[in-house]
Amino acid sequence: MHTNESAENYLETILILSKSHPVVRSVDVASELGFKKSSVSVAMKKLRETDQITVSPEGYLCLTESGRATAEKIYERHLFLSEWLEKLGVDPVVAASDACKIEHVISTESFAAIKKHIDLDSME
């Protein structure tokens, strides 16, 4: 996994967890992704050093403005691509898995062009 892709994945996971958890901790991220807590701790340190997250004294993870912007961009791509693939007849599990791969490598320009030309609401 490319370093940037990995960081994006962590930020997206923190965003998703924050929607259903009152607080998000490294252990929650590790559990969600199926990673060792030690691996997540190293990644959280890097995200903190690049001002993508802040960590409270209690260990609660919070996205910074730039971290949230990155997470929301990736999450939007994930939701859109996953739904589009499902509407094309792809199994939901496969669609989610493929969307997770595509969301990190597609350019902003290509994603915008796809979104502009696909109306998910009109697809059967």
- pTM comes to 0.86
3-state secondary structure string across 42-76: HHHHHHHHCCCEEECCCCEEEECHHHHHHHHHHHH
**Per-residue pLDDT tens for 90-104?**
999 999 999 999 998
Q: CB within 8 A of 109, min separation 6: which ones?
A: none
What are the residues facing 62 on neighbouring strands? 54
State percent of the chain over pLDDT 70: 97
**Per-residue pLDDT tens for 11-31?**
999 999 999 999 999 999 999
Counting every residue written for the chain, the total comes to 124
Average pLDDT, the chain: 92
pLDDT tier, 1 (very low <50, low <70, confident <90, very high otherwise): very low
